[in-house]
């Protein structure tokens, strides 16, 4: 006997608006525990017999569904029993996953019944042509299976044959009824309806508004054609569940290994690959994604950019969204300090051009691991029904809705703009399928879209350097003309530049890693000890860093009288360490910071708080203009800097610095290295 559910207001409202289209989600989980089939298969059956709020109807329907599954579902460990039943009766209806392959030796198709363990059941050409996904990945279906012991092929008995096949999915859905029913709900209610429909309980206090929207972003590939999504995060947060269990239009590739013919097209047979037959192609365990043929990555890049691919002489259009899921091991803050947030990608995928085609990087580390209390026991829409609606909504386009109220900032290039528009369009399709969305709601979706695309660009900047420096994403309200900037939370929650007072001789600088051109943050630490004026460099810094330290020390000794040092450089040995905070191989253009650290240590004066010292100097104290200024200031700001010490030669570059950077940083100019040292300590 099923536990009686106490309906809440949303349950009743949903049942009234979508009669016959709702199902209790706890029934799905209970049934799935006994029958290992995708959720959409179970809900197809439960939706036919249990789509009611009447407990008696639900109980009777559930008994019938279980009886049907017990009779027809093929368990792998009972496959021989099912074969024997089919042989005895001459035909038998089964529920199984079915695949098909073309046998060119005899010029017809064979069906594979996966759980039954039959790989050579005869299947008619027209059945395959009407269900072409049989050839790529396979489908779950109710199959009328016949047994004829006299059927032979080339002297080999092949007794099984597929007489009829009914895919487990609705044949059609009228979206107009769906749109009309959606109007009975507020946006907040509809968010909860969608979450309950995929099995989650939105009333759990852990599901904040932000977490709810992040979870819904996983669904955008269902409604938005050619959408490229990346999610990296801890294990067991449900990343793959959506693409494996919810929709008959999505396929999940486990393990990562794939081939060009499998994904795109087989040149020999002309058979279409996954992207031509499915709405969503999701790769699980992205660390293992690789092509046996290296040209596969290039074809994938082209497809992610244009929505088409070249095979032979033809350009073939397709609409499949591409999803990459993977596990992000380690602490996000640590990765940001030492590397980038794309480390889990395979070597083939750590291709800057491919990464730049990702429309949204979903921060999976913000989503909690699944726990029993996160799963809903309430009513939601039957997923087979709602995924059919989502499939039809892929033809709609809401990308231009942003233009009603907003324009996008100057740092977004054409690829960025397209990514942001597609994300907004996807959220509108999910939450406002009739396109009626308020300005405030649109702004919320726009902020989220900008954040996800900026997260992609931030990692590109860390990996590719100057080419991707423009990451200050913003939008402008067309009515007020106010410009608002959107950050990524993980980079504003803290940084390498610690707040509060530092010990004398400690400061921060930004250097250039000559190995790959990226900018990195270094912590300079200087400690004087009684001695004979020697310089001791701690650790094994690069040649560029060692030269900068030597130059700073030589200048320190020559200008000791101007600096008014309380400890003479001739009477103290100076120990200097360059702490590599971002795992760089070297860091040039850091000379002034080393001099400032030495002076502070010998004077016993700390630097002003949250300061970054920029600049390079010559042996005689000549200053060299700081290059890549915008990127250096942005990196310093993102990592906690409040003040930046800068050569006066860079004043003319300020016209090119984004206003939001200048608004958040106090710029302190210096005219020579001695002046820099005093200003760094607030003495001048």
pLDDT tens profile 146-181: 999 988 877 788 999 999 999 887 656 678 899 999
pLDDT digits over 394-403, tens only?
999 899 999 9
CB atoms closer than 10 angstroms to residue 539? 10
User: Sorting pLDDT into bands at 50, 70 and 90, what band is 539?
Assistant: confident
CA distance 580 to 583: 6
Q: Give the pLDDT confidence score for residue 1 in this predicted structure.
A: 43
CA distance 576 to 560: 18
Check: CB of residue 619 under 8 Å from CB of residue 652. Answer: no
Instruction: Report the pLDDT averaged over residues 91-108.
Output: 92
Q: Give the pLDDT confidence score for residue 616 in this predicted structure.
A: 93
CA distance 244 to 246: 6
Tokens standing for residue 169? 């999915």
* pLDDT surpasses 50 at 183: yes
- Name which of 296, 310, 307 is nearest 351 in CA terms: 296
* pLDDT surpasses 70 at 25: yes
pLDDT digits over 557-586, tens only?
999 888 888 788 889 999 999 887 776 656
* Maximum mean pLDDT: which of 49-53, 420-424, 492-496, 513-517: 420-424
CA distance 382 to 257: 33
CA distance 441 to 404: 13
Check: CB of residue 304 under 8 Å from CB of residue 367. Answer: no
Instruction: Report the pLDDT averaged over residues 6-16.
Output: 93
Instruction: Report the pLDDT averaged over residues 187-194.
Output: 98
- Name which of 152, 197, 496 is nearest 338 in CA terms: 496
* pLDDT surpasses 90 at 289: no
Give the helix/strand (H/E) hosting 611: strand 611-613
Residue percentage of the chain with pLDDT more than 90: 63
pLDDT digits over 234-263, tens only?
999 999 999 999 999 999 998 767 888 889
* pLDDT surpasses 70 at 500: yes
Check: CB of residue 142 under 8 Å from CB of residue 13. Answer: no
Give residue 237's Cα distance to chain centre. Answer: 13
Q: Give the pLDDT confidence score for residue 515 in this predicted structure.
A: 67
First to last CA, the chain: 82
Q: Give the pLDDT confidence score for residue 592 in this predicted structure.
A: 95
- Name which of 374, 448, 350 is nearest 199 in CA terms: 374
User: Sorting pLDDT into bands at 50, 70 and 90, what band is 314?
Assistant: confident
3-class SS at 671? coil
- Name which of 229, 227, 232, 352 is nearest 287 in CA terms: 232
Instruction: Report the pLDDT averaged over residues 587-607.
Output: 91
Can you identify the CATH homologous superfamily of domain 173-383? P-loop containing nucleotide triphosphate hydrolases (3.40.50.300)
Q: Give the pLDDT confidence score for residue 215 in this predicted structure.
A: 98
* pLDDT surpasses 80 at 619: yes
Domain ranges of the chain: 76-167, 173-383, 397-491, 494-680
User: Sorting pLDDT into bands at 50, 70 and 90, what band is 121?
Assistant: very high
Check: CB of residue 377 under 8 Å from CB of residue 33. Answer: no
- Name which of 88, 100, 156, 140 is nearest 124 in CA terms: 100
Q: Give the pLDDT confidence score for residue 192 in this predicted structure.
A: 98
* pLDDT surpasses 50 at 408: yes
User: Sorting pLDDT into bands at 50, 70 and 90, what band is 463?
Assistant: confident
Instruction: Report the pLDDT averaged over residues 183-204.
Output: 97
More confident residue, 469 or 676: 676
More confident residue, 404 or 683: 404
Q: Give the pLDDT confidence score for residue 170 in this predicted structure.
A: 67
- Pairing state between β 506-512 and 519-530: antiparallel
CATH topology of domain 494-680: Ribosomal Protein S5; domain 2 (3.30.230)
Instruction: Report the pLDDT averaged over residues 334-360.
Output: 88
User: Sorting pLDDT into bands at 50, 70 and 90, what band is 96?
Assistant: very high
* Mean pLDDT of the chain, nearest integer: 90
CA distance 31 to 530: 78
- Predicted TM-score (pTM) of this structure: 0.76
pLDDT digits over 427-452, tens only?
999 999 999 999 999 999 999 999 99
- Name which of 202, 177, 181 is nearest 8 in CA terms: 202
Check: CB of residue 384 under 8 Å from CB of residue 248. Answer: yes
Q: Give the pLDDT confidence score for residue 356 in this predicted structure.
A: 97
Give residue 359's Cα distance to chain centre. Answer: 9
Q: Token match 């210096």: residue?
A: 670
Measure the CA dihedral 554/559/564/568, to 10°: 40
3-class SS at 5? coil
């Amino acid at each position: 006997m099923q536990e009686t559910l106490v309906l809440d207001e949303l349950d009743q409202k949903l049942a009234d608006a979508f009669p016959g289209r709702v199902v209790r989600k706890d029934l799905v989980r209970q049934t799935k525990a006994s029958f290992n089939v995708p959720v959409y298969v179970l809900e197809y059956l439960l939706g036919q017999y249990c789509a009611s709020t009447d407990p008696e109807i639900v109980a009777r329907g559930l008994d019938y569904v279980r009886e049907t599954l017990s009779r027809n579902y093929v368990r792998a460990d009972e496959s021989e029993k099912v074969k024997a039943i089919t042989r005895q009766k001459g035909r038998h209806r089964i529920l199984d996953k079915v695949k098909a392959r073309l046998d060119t030796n005899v010029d017809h198709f064979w069906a594979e019944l996966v759980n039954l363990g039959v790989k050579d059941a005869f299947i008619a050409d027209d059945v395959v042509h009407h269900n072409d996904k049989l050839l790529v990945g396979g489908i779950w279906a109710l199959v009328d299976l016949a047994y004829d012991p006299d059927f032979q092929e080339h002297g080999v008995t092949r007794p099984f044959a597929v007489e009829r096949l009914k895919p487990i999915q609705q044949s059609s859905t009228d979206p107009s009824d769906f749109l009309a029913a959606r109007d009975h709900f507020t946006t907040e209610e509809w968010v909860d309806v969608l979450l309950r429909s995929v099995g989650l309980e939105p009333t759990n206090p852990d599901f904040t508004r932000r977490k709810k929207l992040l979870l819904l972003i996983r669904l955008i590939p269902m409604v938005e054609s050619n959408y490229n999504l990346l999610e990296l995060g801890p294990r067991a947060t449900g990343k793959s569940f959506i693409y494996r269990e919810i929709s008959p239009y999505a396929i999940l590739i486990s393990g990562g290994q794939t081939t060009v013919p499998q994904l795109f097209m087989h040149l020999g047979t002309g058979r279409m690959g996954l992207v031509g037959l499915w709405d969503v192609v999701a790769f699980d365990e992205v660390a293992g994604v690789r092509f046996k043929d290296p040209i596969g990555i290039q074809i994938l890049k082209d497809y992610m950019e244009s929505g088409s691919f070249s095979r032979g002489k033809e350009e073939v259009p397709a609409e499949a969204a591409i999803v990459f899921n993977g596990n992000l091991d380690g602490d996000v803050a640590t990765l940001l300090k030492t590397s980038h947030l794309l480390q889990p990608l395979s070597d083939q995928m750590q291709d800057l051009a491919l990464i730049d085609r990702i429309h949204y990087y979903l921060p999976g580390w913000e989503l909690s691991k699944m726990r029993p209390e996160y799963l809903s026991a309430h009513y939601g829409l039957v997923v087979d029904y709602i995924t059919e609606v989502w499939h039809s909504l892929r033809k709609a386009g809401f990308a231009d809705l942003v233009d009603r109220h907003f324009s996008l900032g100057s740092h977004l290039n054409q690829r960025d703009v397209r990514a942001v528009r597609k994300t907004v369009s996807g959220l509108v399709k999910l939450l406002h399928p009739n396109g009626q969305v308020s300005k405030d709601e649109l702004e919320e979706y726009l902020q989220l879209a900008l954040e996800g695309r900026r997260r992609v660009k931030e990692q590109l900047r860390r990996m590719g350097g100057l080419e991707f420096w423009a990451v200050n994403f913003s939008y402008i309200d067309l009515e007020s003309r106010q410009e608002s900037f959107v950050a990524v939370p993980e980079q504003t929650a803290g940084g390498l530049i610690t707040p509060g007072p530092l010990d004398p001789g400690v400061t921060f600088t930004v250097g250039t890693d000559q190995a790959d051109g990226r900018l990195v943050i270094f912590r300079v630490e200087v400690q004087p000890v009684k001695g004979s004026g020697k310089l001791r460099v701690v650790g094994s810094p690069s040649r560029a860093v060692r030269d900068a330290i030597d130059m700073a020390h030589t200048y320190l000794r020559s200008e000791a009288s101007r600096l008014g040092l309380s400890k003479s450089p001739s009477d103290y040995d100076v120990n200097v360490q360059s702490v590599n905070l971002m795992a760089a191989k070297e860091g040039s253009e850091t000379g002034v910071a080393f001099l400032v650290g030495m002076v502070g240590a010998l004077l016993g004066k700390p630097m002003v708080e949250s300061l970054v010292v920029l600049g390079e100097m010559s042996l005689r104290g000549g200053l060299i203009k700081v290059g890549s200024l915008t990127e250096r200031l942005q990196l310093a700001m993102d990592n906690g800097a409040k003040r930046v010490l800068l050569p006066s030669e860079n004043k003319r570059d300020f016209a090119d610095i984004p206003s939001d950077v200048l608004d958040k940083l106090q710029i302190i100019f210096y005219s020579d290295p001695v002046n820099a040292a005093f200003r760094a300590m607030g003495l001048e």
